[in-house]
């Protein structure tokens, strides 16, 4: 009885919220994120960015905590429906969004997620009919970018491919190897190294013996930094590239200047300084998912505006519109994924990563 009473009270509160917003002529955007538990910090980043965009537009937001769980996602979906919210943004956790989507899609409420990368979320669209639009990259986008960028840039290089034996490292390395093979390229050396060693002299020696001048290493920042250091110890000039794991904090040994990274741009790489300063003025650090949350809210607000002007369904608008955001333009493909691959090539200068154009 107590649960039913609380549910009834919640329904009345949310209905009153929706009615008040409608009376004020305000669009309501639902923001759903993990605002408690271990993922709270990341959820708060989404909330900070999205809330700033919505406030700037003079719209109204309904913020809900999905607790990074299936139960929390389903409850949040029901709350959005009770409040007559017409579009939602957010979600970081696969369990939460997969529990919410069947409920929201049945109510014709689309979701723009800046955080969930799981490939199957959109791969199953033709079967599930879920109205999900992913402004975040897919999980396989990093592998695709590494393959595309390095096969193009290293077509005339003597390159090697190594990995640390982890699922992450091996998938990156194998994806690049297959792409190189399809492009008619063959590495001069492949190997799996033992990670978390205090030296990689043996690996550096094997690479030198194979004549490799460039190497892609599927592994973490510390191991790649140590490999570069030890290659220098034996007087072996080597260009090393890695994935976005290189954005991790510096260890005892730093990356060598000239190390390449295929990774996602940070806020300062895509947004204007004036825009970023507006966050500082509000006491918000524009880091992590803050800009992603802001962009997702921009997309939702533009979709609502077009819906009011044209009476097209929100799902049709999201599927067929090029959206202009502070982080650049974005459109969604037939599956609901962003149509571009946002991963780019960066070079380390000893302090920061700078984009290689």
pLDDT digits (tens, 9 = 90+) for 239-297: 999 999 999 999 999 999 999 999 999 988 999 999 999 999 999 999 999 999 999 99
State how far the Cα of 318 lies from the Cα of 200, in Å rounded to an integer.
49
- Report pLDDT for 2: 38
Quick one: 195 exposed, middle or buried, by C-beta within 10 A (0-12, 13-18, 19+)? Answer: middle
pTM score, whole prediction: 0.88
State how far the Cα of 205 lies from the Cα of 79, in Å rounded to an integer.
60
Measured at the CA of 315, the angle between CA 314 and CA 319, to 5 degrees, comes to 115
State how far the Cα of 217 lies from the Cα of 240, in Å rounded to an integer.
7
Residue 219: CB partners within 8 Å, gap ≥ 6? Answer: 162, 163, 164, 166, 169, 193, 195, 242, 245
State how far the Cα of 86 lies from the Cα of 88, in Å rounded to an integer.
7
Comparing CA positions, the residue from 224, 187, 222 lying closest to residue 203 is 224
- b/e 269-307 (16+ beta carbons within 10 angstroms → b): ebbeeeebebbeeeebebebbbbbbbbbbbbbbbbbebb
Contact 306, 317 (CB under 8 A): yes
State how far the Cα of 349 lies from the Cα of 353, in Å rounded to an integer.
6
Other Cβ atoms closer than 10 A to 79: 21
- The three-class DSSP label of residue 326 is coil
Residue 34: CB partners within 8 Å, gap ≥ 6? Answer: 40, 42, 43, 65, 66, 67, 68, 72, 92, 93, 96
Comparing CA positions, the residue from 177, 223, 187 lying closest to residue 204 is 223
| Tally of residues, the chain | 357
Quick one: 237 exposed, middle or buried, by C-beta within 10 A (0-12, 13-18, 19+)? Answer: exposed
- Report pLDDT for 268: 87
- The three-class DSSP label of residue 128 is helix
Residue ranges for the chain with pLDDT beneath 50? 1-13, 15-25
- The three-class DSSP label of residue 161 is strand
Residue 308: CB partners within 8 Å, gap ≥ 6? Answer: 27
Comparing CA positions, the residue from 56, 66, 59, 126 lying closest to residue 97 is 66
Comparing CA positions, the residue from 277, 325, 333, 282 lying closest to residue 301 is 325
Indicate left, alpha or beta for 58 from its phi (over 0: left) and psi (-120 to 50: alpha).
left
Comparing CA positions, the residue from 329, 332, 305 lying closest to residue 318 is 332
Helix axes 2-23, 70-82, angle to 10 degrees: 50
Contact 28, 86 (CB under 8 A): yes
- Report pLDDT for 7: 40
- Report pLDDT for 26: 60
Comparing CA positions, the residue from 184, 196, 191, 183 lying closest to residue 209 is 191
Question: What separation, in Å, do the N-terminal and C-terminal C-alpha atoms of the chain show?
Answer: 63
């Amino acid at each position: 009885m107590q649960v039913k009473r609380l549910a009834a009270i919640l329904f009345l509160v949310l209905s009153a919220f929706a009615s008040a917003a409608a009376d004020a002529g305000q669009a309501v955007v639902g923001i759903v994120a993990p605002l408690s538990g271990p993922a709270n910090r990341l959820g708060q980043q989404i909330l900070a960015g999205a809330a700033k965009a919505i406030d700037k537009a003079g719209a109204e937001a309904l913020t809900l905590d999905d607790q990074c769980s299936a139960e929390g996602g389903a409850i949040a979906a029901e709350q959005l429906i009770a409040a007559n919210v017409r579009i939602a943004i957010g979600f970081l956790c696969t369990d939460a969004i997969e529990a919410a989507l069947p409920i929201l899609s049945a109510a014709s409420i689309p979701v723009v997620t800046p955080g969930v990368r799981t490939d199957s979320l959109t791969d199953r669209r033709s079967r599930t009919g879920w109205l999900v639009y992913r402004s975040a990259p897919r999980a396989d986008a990093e592998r695709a970018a590494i393959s595309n960028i390095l096969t193009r840039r290293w077509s005339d290089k003597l390159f090697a491919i190594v990995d640390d034996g982890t699922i992450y490292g091996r998938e990156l390395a194998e994806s690049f190897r297959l792409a190189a093979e399809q492009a008619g390229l063959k590495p001069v050396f492949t190997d799996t190294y033992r990670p978390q060693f205090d030296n990689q002299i043996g690996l550096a020696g094997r690479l030198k013996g194979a004549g490799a001048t460039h190497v892609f290493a599927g592994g973490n920042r510390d191991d790649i930094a140590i490999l570069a250091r030890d290659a220098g110890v034996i007087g072996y000039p080597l260009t090393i590239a890695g994935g976005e794991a290189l954005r991790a904090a510096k260890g005892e040994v730093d990356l060598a200047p000239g190390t390449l990274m295929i990774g996602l741009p940070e806020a300062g790489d895509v947004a204007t300084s004036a825009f970023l300063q507006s966050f500082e003025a509000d006491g918000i650090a524009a880091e992590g998912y803050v800009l992603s949350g802001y962009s997702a809210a921009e997309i939702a607000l533009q979709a609502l505006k077009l819906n009011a002007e044209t009476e097209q369904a929100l799902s049709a608008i999201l599927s067929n519109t090029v959206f202009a955001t502070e982080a650049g333009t974005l459109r969604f493909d037939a599956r609901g994924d962003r149509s571009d691959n946002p991963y780019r090539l960066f070079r380390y200068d000893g302090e920061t990563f700078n984009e290689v154009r």
